[in-house]
Amino acid sequence: MQIYADNAATTRLSDTALNAMLPYLQGEYGNPSSLHSVGQRAQEALTDARTRIAARLGCEPMEVIFTAGGSEADNQAIRSVAAWGKKKGKTHIISTAFEHHAVLHTLEALEKEGFSVTLLDVHEDGMVSASQVEEAITPETCLVTVMYANNEIGTVQPIAEIGEVCRRHGVFFHTDAVQAVGHLPVNVKEQNIDLLSLSGHKFHGPKGIGVLYARRGVPIFPLIHGGAQERGRRGGTENIPAIVGMAAALDEACDHLEEDTQKLTALRDRLIAGLSRIPHSVLNGNREHRVPGTVNFCFEGIEGESLLLLLDDKGVCASSGSACTSGSLDPSHVLLAIGRPHEIAHGSLRLSLSPDTTEEEVDYMIEAVTDVVAYLRSISPVWRNLEAGIQEFIIK
């Protein structure tokens, strides 16, 4: 048995997306820039995909820029506004402490180039507020970038309100919506979003493809210089199969959004209830404002990598924010940002579901996690100290 519960990392390519892609991996291999009929058929596919994606986002087709993924879109959004800001003497950027590294590391690079960056504190329930953003805005602020939904703990931010604050202060607003698009209703116009990043493989589309939405009038500069593709905003021959697959996957996800949300929310809540029964465990992130499929817990007295390996032995594919899985000494910056101490953050587990997940699988996962946590605690000197009262429990 294998249960894939790491859908926040990546998702299975849907059959709909695959079937949409196949012709463009086979006979329809044209370059959309070519004037001949083979190229023009590729151009039509490109235009069609762009139009459909724009409709799903609530924007104009020309506001959709295809990129090689969410990270590139984040880089381009931030770098573009920063370049504009520098010319205008606006070199202050506001973001949050729990953004994806595609945002945080771009901001770190800009700091070295002379920008000042304010990273807003994240509340312990994994939320930031529009008033926090408003208080941080200065006359020098050019950009606010706040993620739509957090990739590790799944909390959903008040994007429309933050967008409204930015609009009122004349500051550009970008949101990394990689974990949101295809999972939550998104409308860039209604939500006052100037720039938005999305990634195809997070909603059952292919990898290596994403979108930067940039509202008309927002200054955009290319990261990849080359041909006139994407109106000069992104050089390089378009990845037609991936673009077509992403458009098909997004249509499918949005068409089923309501039923999938209903199904996933029930499964997620069942999973949360089951894992909450493990003693000295805690759910990370706000209980209500979260994406339908993501659950993140900390278990005191154990370490996340060994938890993942033993879960994998039981057929459960999950992820963790422990240092051992991050390749650094520090555990997840997201868990630290919401105030979890290091020793607790090391014992984290993320399970992210998909519409493929069944109730039986959820029950199996609850049992598997319960068993593995109990076993790891039985060999943990930390747990022994906690039980003996030598150390105090952090998670009550």
Partner 1 sequence: MALYSEKVMDHFRNPRNVGTMENPSGVGEVGNAKCGDIMRIYLKIDNDIIQDVKFETFGCGSAIASSSMATELIKGKPVSQALELTNQAVVEALDGLPAQKIHCSVLAEEAIKLALKDYYDKNGLDYDHSQFPDCENCAHCHAH
Applying CB under 8 A, which of residues 131, 342, 371, 393 lies at the interface with partner 1? 342
- With respect to partner 1, which residue has the nearer C-beta, 27 or 341? 341
364-393 mask for partner 1 (x: CB under 8 A)? ---------------xxxxxx---------
98 interacts with partner 1 by CB under 8 A: no
Contacts of 341 (CB under 8 A, 6+ apart): 394
Interface with partner 1 in residues 6-35 (CB under 8 A): none
**Cross-strand partners of 145:** 174
- With respect to partner 1, which residue has the nearer C-beta, 43 or 306? 306
* Residue with tokens 């993924």, as numbered in its chain: 69
- With respect to partner 1, which residue has the nearer C-beta, 313 or 363? 313
**Radius of gyration in angstroms for the set of CA atoms belonging to the chain, rounded to a whole number:** 22
3-class SS at 198?
Answer: strand
Q: Cβ 300 to partner 1, closest distance in Å? A: 10
Contact 278, 370 (CB under 8 A): yes
310 interacts with partner 1 by CB under 8 A: yes
Q: Cβ 313 to partner 1, closest distance in Å? A: 7
CA atoms of 90 and 1, how far apart (whole Å): 55
Give the single-character DSSP code of 200.
G
Q: Cβ 55 to partner 1, closest distance in Å? A: 43
Q: How many helices (H) and strands (E) does the chain have?
A: 14, 12
Applying CB under 8 A, which of residues 323, 349, 351, 366 lies at the interface with partner 1? 323
301 interacts with partner 1 by CB under 8 A: yes
- With respect to partner 1, which residue has the nearer C-beta, 25 or 382? 382
- With respect to partner 1, which residue has the nearer C-beta, 228 or 329? 329
Residues with catalytic function: 324
Q: Which two three-digit tokens encode residue 235?
A: 């050089």
Applying CB under 8 A, which of residues 302, 316, 349, 373 lies at the interface with partner 1? 302
**Alpha-helix residue ranges (DSSP H) falling in the chain:** 15-25, 37-57, 70-88, 101-112, 130-136, 159-169, 240-255, 257-276, 304-313, 323-326, 333-337, 342-345, 359-378, 381-388
Backbone φ and ψ of 360, nearest 5°: -60, -40
Give the binding-site size for partner 1 (rule: CB under 8 A): 25
Query: Where do contacts with partner 1 occur on this chain (CB under 8 A)?
Result: 301-306, 309-310, 313, 322-324, 327, 329, 331, 341-343, 346, 379-384
